[in-house]
Amino acid sequence: MSERRAHMRVPFIVPVNLVHERRALKGYWTHDLSEGGMRMEFLPVPIRSLVKVVVPLPAGETDRHCIVEGEVMWRTFRSTGVRFLDPPQDVLQYVRDVVDHGVPQKQDRELQLTN
C-alpha cells in the first residue's frame, strides 16, 4: 500500500480542544501530526466542517497553546482527519520541530480554551 500523503506523519498524542460552529469540544486526543494536518480520535462533526484546534505547546511553556484552523477531511468510527488551512508560520515551525525532533507522547495538563 503506498502513502498518498504529501507530508510525513509522526506520532503526536496530546489532548486538544476544538471549536466547531462556536461550540467548544473539549478533551479530544490526537494520534499523529504532519505539516498538512493531524489524525485524532473520532469527532462528532460532519466531513468538510471547519474547526479550530487548540494544541498545547511543549512542556516548559506552561499554559501556552497554538490555535490552527482546519477542515475535517475524513472520518471513521475511530478517528478523524483534519487538514490545516493556511496555518501561521509559528504554527508551521512548531509542527516542523515536532516532526523533526519529536515531543513527549503524553501531556497531562488541563488546557484553557481561547476564542
pLDDT above 80: residue 54: yes
User: Three cell numbers at 46?
Assistant: 460532519
Q: Between 2 and 33, where is the model more confident?
A: 33
Among the residue ranges 24-28, 30-34, 60-64, the one predicted with the least confidence is 60-64
Contact 111, 18 (CB under 8 A): no
Sequence length of the chain is 115
Q: Does the predicted TM-score (pTM) go above 0.75?
A: yes
- Asked if residue 41 belongs to a domain, the reply is yes
pLDDT of amino acid 41: 94
The pLDDT of residue 114 is above 50: no
Average pLDDT (85-103) is 83
For residues 13-39, give the mean pLDDT: 93
Q: Is residue 5 part of a domain?
A: no
The grid coordinates listed for 49 are 466542517
DSSP class of residue 61 equals: S
Choose among 35, 39, 36: nearest CA to 14: 39
Interatomic CA distance for residues 52 and 104, integer angstroms: 23
Q: Is the pLDDT of residue 60 over 60?
A: no
Domain count, the chain: 1
Cβ contact 64:48 at 8 Å = no
Q: d(Cα 37, Cα 5) in Å, to the nearest integer?
A: 10
> Does residue 55 sit within a domain?
yes
- Unique residue bearing C-alpha cell 480554551: 113
**96 in a structural domain:** yes
Say which CATH number the domain at 64 has.
2.40.10.220
> Residue 43 sits in which domain range?
10-101
